[in-house]
C-alpha cells in the first residue's frame, strides 16, 4: 500500500502551455476554413476553457454566445467536421513550430523512466494531439514511453468526471494509491480527485486563480535544479524541484494520514 508505481500526466497546460497559442489558434483557423467570422480571443478562450473537450467547447460557445451561424441541418455533424479541421490545424502547428515543455517535465519523465516508474497520460484532448505534442516536443519515440494514453472520447464523460483516470488505472491494473497524477486546472483536479489520486497541480496563466482546495501540492511548475518551483499550497520541506522521490514521499504521507 502506498508504494509509487506510476505517474499519470494530464497534457494540456500540464506538459506544455498548449491552450493559448496552439488549441485556440487551431480553433480560429478551423472557423476561418469554413467561412465563419468567429474569433476566440485570449480572454474569451479563458472563459470557454471551463468546458473541456473541443467539440463540447464549440457547442457551448454556440449555445451561450449565440454567434452568427450558417444554416446547418445537423449541428452535431457540423461540429464534428469543424473539430476535425481544428485537430488537423493543431497537429500541423505543433509539427511546424515546436512548443516547449513546461519546466521540469522532461527531467521528471526521464527520471521516472530511469527508475522503472510507469508512465501514463490521462487527458481530454484528441489522441492525435497527444501524439503531436509528445513526438515533436518530447522525443520522436516518446509515444512508446507511456504505457497507456487515455484520451478524448475513449470514455463517455470528460473531465471534471473521473472516468479518464479510472480508465488509465484499469488499463495499468493499478490502484489510485500507487500513482501520482499531474494536473493544471480545476476541472483536471476534480477529475483526479474523483478517481482518488494523489495530485500535484502546476498552475498556469489560465488556471492560477482556480480552486485547488485539497490538492496534495499546488506549485508554480515542477521546477528544475537551477530554477526552483514556488509552492502555492502544500508542504514540500526543503525540496527545490519535483522529483520521483517527492512523488513517493507524497504517497507515503497519504498512507499514514
The binding site for Mg ion (CB under 5 A) comprises 10, 12-13, 184-185, 188
Minimum CB distance to ligand XBP, residue 152 (Å): 6
Nearest to 78 by CA among 60, 59, 92: 59
**106 vs 158, which CB is nearer to ligand XBP?**
158
Using CB under 6 A, pick the residue from 17, 123, 192, 199 that binds ligand XBP: 123
What are the residues facing 231 on neighbouring strands? Answer: 219
**83 vs 118, which CB is nearer to ligand XBP?**
83
Establish whether 43 is a catalytic residue: no
Minimum CB distance to ligand XBP, residue 111 (Å): 23
Spatial distance between the Cα atoms of 215 and 238, rounded to a whole number of angstroms: 19
Nearest residue (beta carbon) to ligand XBP: 54
Q: Is 125 in the site for ligand XBP (CB under 6 A)?
A: yes
Minimum CB distance to ligand XBP, residue 53 (Å): 4
Spatial distance between the Cα atoms of 39 and 24, rounded to a whole number of angstroms: 9
Establish whether 177 is a catalytic residue: no
Beta strands in the chain (DSSP E): 6-9, 118-123, 148-151, 179-183, 198-202, 217-219, 231-233
Letters for 189-228 (x = contact with ligand XBP by CB under 6 A, - = none) are: ----------------------------------------
Letters for 24-63 (x = contact with ligand XBP by CB under 6 A, - = none) are: ----------------------------xxx---------
Of these partners, Mg ion, ligand XBP, none, which one is at the site of residue 207 (CB under 5 to 8 Å by kind)?
none
Spatial distance between the Cα atoms of 57 and 50, rounded to a whole number of angstroms: 8
DSSP string, 217-235: EEESS--BTTB---EEES-
Minimum CB distance to ligand XBP, residue 138 (Å): 16
The answer to whether the beta carbons of residues 11 and 181 sit under 8 Å apart is: no
Of these partners, Mg ion, ligand XBP, none, which one is at the site of residue 221 (CB under 5 to 8 Å by kind)?
none
Nearest to 83 by CA among 126, 40, 22, 37: 126
**2 vs 194, which CB is nearer to ligand XBP?**
194
**Burial zone of 246 (CB within 10 Å; 0-12 exposed, 13-18 middle, 19+ buried):** middle
**183 vs 216, which CB is nearer to ligand XBP?**
183
Sequence-distant (≥ 6) Cβ neighbours of residue 204 within 8 angstroms: 13, 17, 102, 184
Spatial distance between the Cα atoms of 233 and 239, rounded to a whole number of angstroms: 14
Minimum CB distance to ligand XBP, residue 76 (Å): 15
Which residues of the shown chain bind ligand XBP in the complex (CB under 6 A)? 10-13, 19, 23, 52-54, 86-87, 123-126, 129, 159, 185, 187-188
Active centre residues (catalytic): 10, 12
Amino acid at each position: 500500500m502506498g508504494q509509487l508505481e506510476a505517474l499519470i500526466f494530464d497534457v494540456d497546460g500540464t506538459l506544455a502551455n498548449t491552450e493559448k497559442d496552439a488549441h485556440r489558434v487551431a480553433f480560429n483557423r478551423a472557423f476561418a476554413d469554413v467561412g465563419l467570422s468567429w474569433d476566440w480571443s485570449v480572454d474569451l478562450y479563458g472563459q470557454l476553457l471551463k468546458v473541456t473537450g473541443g467539440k463540447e467547447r464549440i457547442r457551448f460557445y454556440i449555445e451561450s454566445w449565440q454567434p452568427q451561424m450558417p444554416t446547418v441541418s445537423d449541428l452535431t455533424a457540423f461540429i464534428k467536421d469543424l473539430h476535425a479541421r481544428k485537430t488537423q490545424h493543431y497537429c500541423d502547428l505543433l509539427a511546424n513550430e515546436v512548443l516547449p515543455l513546461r519546466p521540469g517535465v522532461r527531467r521528471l519523465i526521464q527520471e521516472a523512466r530511469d527508475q522503472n516508474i510507469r508512465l501514463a497520460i490521462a487527458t481530454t484532448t484528441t489522441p492525435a494531439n497527444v501524439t503531436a505534442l509528445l513526438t515533436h516536443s518530447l522525443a520522436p519515440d516518446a509515444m512508446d514511453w507511456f504505457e497507456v494514453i487515455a484520451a478524448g472520447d475513449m470514455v463517455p464523460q470528460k473531465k471534471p468526471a473521473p472516468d479518464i483516470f479510472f480508465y488509465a488505472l484499469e488499463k495499468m491494473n493499478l490502484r489510485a494509491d500507487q500513482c501520482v497524477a499531474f494536473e493544471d486546472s480545476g476541472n483536471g483536479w476534480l477529475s483526479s480527485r474523483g478517481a482518488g489520486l494523489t495530485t500535484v497541480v502546476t498552475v498556469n496563466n489560465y488556471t492560477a486563480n482556480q480552486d485547488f482546495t485539497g490538492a496534495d501540492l499546488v506549485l508554480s511548475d515542477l521546477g528544475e535544479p537551477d530554477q526552483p518551483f514556488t509552492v502555492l499550497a502544500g508542504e514540500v520541506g526543503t525540496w527545490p524541484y519535483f522529483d520521483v522521490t517527492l512523488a513517493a514521499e507524497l504517497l507515503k504521507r497519504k498512507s499514514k494520514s
